[in-house]
Structure 1
Amino acid sequence: MKLKKIKPNWGDIFANLLAFCAFVAIGLGLWLCYIFIIKMKGFSEDIWQDRTLLGMAGEFLGGTVGPIWALAGVILFFLALIYQKRELVLQRMELHESRKIMEDQSRTIAIQQFENTFFQLLNFHINAANHIRNTKINSNSKSQNAFDELYVDFKKETDKLKKRRKADAGSLSPSDQSFENTFIAVFEGYKNTFQHYLENYKALLLFIKNKSHDPSFYYNIVKSHFTEQEVQVHFYYIILVSKNPQLIEIIEDNHMFEKINERAVSDVDPYHLQKIDKEAFRREY
């Protein structure tokens, strides 16, 4: 195992060298002062009464020790600037770390707030779907729930539309507007049952797109709760009633119709499958 070489910190080395020079300069000045005092004691007492000699001695001491201590002062001032700069750098790093921690905390809080709302919408969707599956609109219908009944009624009305179309124009291909009008007419009879369910469905998809940090993850969670019957209702509602470009983009990009029964859609009319990009029906597994 090779030991990793530690690179020398030249900044610290330079600062330590300056500090050493400053202390040497101070020590040298003190030593010169000490030598000067010792030498002065060796002279006769007359020198202390001669102002001229004392002035010369003072000039000599100031001329030698003064520059040395001035140099030490400059060095110490420069060291103070270096350490002040380091302190500012450390404070900046601490502020950066504090900001990063606050950003992480804010991101965590935002995710928690998003997930609280997301799971509330998802639970509402699941409860609404269960209610619809347990609701039977037409007592004479063989269907077990409102999802099946809506599809059966729409298929019946579409078959009638095709027969009228064939009788009038000799063609089995009704126009987009005819399909739309037919579905809306059928949907009106189920509006009270499906309205809140479909509004929550749209709100859930748009909420994930606009607020989520990882939309694909949450779309996969939502898809796992959709049944084939639900996806079929979503399909017709999106292409014939809502026609929301943003919703269609979400559905195509995230394969939201992967559970759809394409044969059941083709029984109504295969033309509808061409209204949305094939990516919407692609299975990811």
Structure 2
Amino acid sequence: MNKSELEKEINEASERIKTRQSEIETEIDRLGEQISKFTNWAWIFVWIGAFVSAFALIYFICTNTEKGFGLNLLGDFMAGTVASVWSLAGLFFIYVAFLGQKQQLLNQQLEIMYSQLEVKYTRLELSGQKAEMAEQNKTLRRQRFENTFFQLLSNHQEIVNGIDLKRVRDGSWTTSAEGRDCFSTFYERAFPKGFRLRKHPIEPTVEKYAEFYKVNQSDLGHYFRHMYHILKFIKKSKELTKEEKYNYSNLLRALLSSYELLFIFYNGLSEAGKPKLKQLLEEFSMLKNMDFELLINIEHKKEYKEIAFASSEERKKLLRTKK
């Protein structure tokens, strides 16, 4: 196959990928909505089964001695009703897992298409246009990076939106805070006013944070692991310059609230965050928009390098000085 034929094939493949990518993204969004809907239905049936089980057990205890309501009848009732309801819930969960696998297959399909196109570009490079095609190949890799990066940002938003706090009100559980609003409540719970007024040094503050994190790890653990994964993904990208990596990190930083930055600050100084996360926070100046009034002690700021809080201009000066 000569150069012109190969270029034509690449152009046709690129157009097919653009069209197919739009279709796949639409399908993934539709599957996401179905996953959310069927997951909710599954949990509804789980709770219905639990309610019916509790009702049957209470009824058995109250009527067993007087009316002879035996264990056999209780077992028959549970098998005929509760088991059916929970079987239906299990069916919904299985279907949700199937939809999740379908989403993954669609993503893999798009990845394979890009990989095939990259192979074609490689062949064209070998045909004599190495410099030009290398640039096009770089653009393709950049597109792949951006597809993954923005998907990671979307996933991060979903993780934040999935955080909620509940409390008992009028005898039932109600949601008191959702999403980013939870972090201000976390702040009050992790560092009560009496603790904040004492202006504790860094060691007891980090210990206080670690105690809170241990209790709330189900909400915060996934959050911090995913954020670290995004920063690590940016850092390891070979397609980007240092300045471009910093610009992409700005997109992540723009999503963070003041209270989130406060928890990120102390997580970076914790036993789990100090070996890896702290370095990335400094490298990408992730704390530059931080509200220092939220710190338990302003002296804690000294635990990070100055570049962690630097604006774009300050960052350039610090990097020049470092050189």
TM-score, structure 1 normalization: 0.54
Q: Which residue of 2 aligns with 1:258?
A: 288
The aligned runs of 1:187-266 (5 Å cut-off) are 187-211=213-237, 212-213=239-240, 214-265=244-295
Q: Structure 1 residue 278 and structure 2 residue 306: aligned?
A: yes
2:147 corresponds to which of 116, 128, 139: 116
Aligned-pair distance for 1:202? 0.2
Q: Give secondary structure in 2 for the equivalent of 1:255.
A: coil
Q: Structure 1 residue 127 and structure 2 residue 158: aligned?
A: yes
Q: Is the 8 A contact 2:201 2:297 kept in 1?
A: no
Q: Which residue of 1 aligns with 2:165?
A: 136
Change (3 A) 1:95 1:204: closer
Aligned-pair distance for 1:130? 2.8
**C-alpha distance after superposition, 1:170-225 (max 9, x if no partner):** xx75562x333321111122211121111110000110011151201211221222
Range moving further from structure 2, 184-193 or 236-245 = 236-245
Percent of pairs with identical residues: 22
Between the aligned partners of 1:235 and 1:160, the Cα distance in structure 2 is 16
Aligned-pair distance for 1:245? 4.5
Between the aligned partners of 2:196 and 2:308, the Cα distance in structure 1 is 29
Change (3 A) 1:104 1:175: closer
Consecutive unaligned residues of structure 1, counting only runs of 5 or more, are: 1-93, 163-171
Q: Which residue of 2 aligns with 1:183?
A: 209
Between the aligned partners of 1:175 and 1:118, the Cα distance in structure 2 is 34
Q: Give secondary structure in 2 for the equivalent of 1:240.
A: coil
Instruction: Return the letter of the residue paired with 2:206.
Output: E
Matched residues, number: 178
Between the aligned partners of 1:262 and 1:193, the Cα distance in structure 2 is 24
Instruction: Return the letter of the residue paired with 2:297.
Output: D
Q: Which residue of 2 aligns with 1:8?
A: none
Change (3 A) 1:181 1:161: farther
Larger strand fraction of residues = 2
Between the aligned partners of 1:275 and 1:158, the Cα distance in structure 2 is 23
Q: Which residue of 2 aligns with 1:3?
A: none
Consecutive unaligned residues of structure 2, counting only runs of 5 or more, are: 1-124, 170-174, 314-323
1:146 corresponds to which of 169, 182, 185: 182
Q: Is the 8 A contact 1:137 1:149 kept in 2?
A: no
Q: Is the 8 A contact 1:232 1:260 kept in 2?
A: yes
Between the aligned partners of 1:127 and 1:143, the Cα distance in structure 2 is 15
Instruction: Return the letter of the residue paired with 2:152.
Output: L
Instruction: Return the letter of the residue paired with 1:281.
Output: F
Instruction: Return the letter of the residue paired with 2:183.
Output: F
Q: Which residue of 2 aligns with 1:86?
A: none
Between the aligned partners of 2:194 and 2:213, the Cα distance in structure 1 is 13
Between the aligned partners of 2:188 and 2:146, the Cα distance in structure 1 is 36
Between the aligned partners of 2:214 and 2:194, the Cα distance in structure 1 is 15
Instruction: Return the letter of the residue paired with 2:307.
Output: E
Q: Is the 8 A contact 2:201 2:300 kept in 1?
A: no
Runs (4+) of structure 1 exceeding 6 A deviation are 140-144
Instruction: Return the letter of the residue paired with 1:231.
Output: L
Q: What do you get for the CA RMSD once the two structures are aligned? A: 3.1
Between the aligned partners of 1:221 and 1:257, the Cα distance in structure 2 is 13
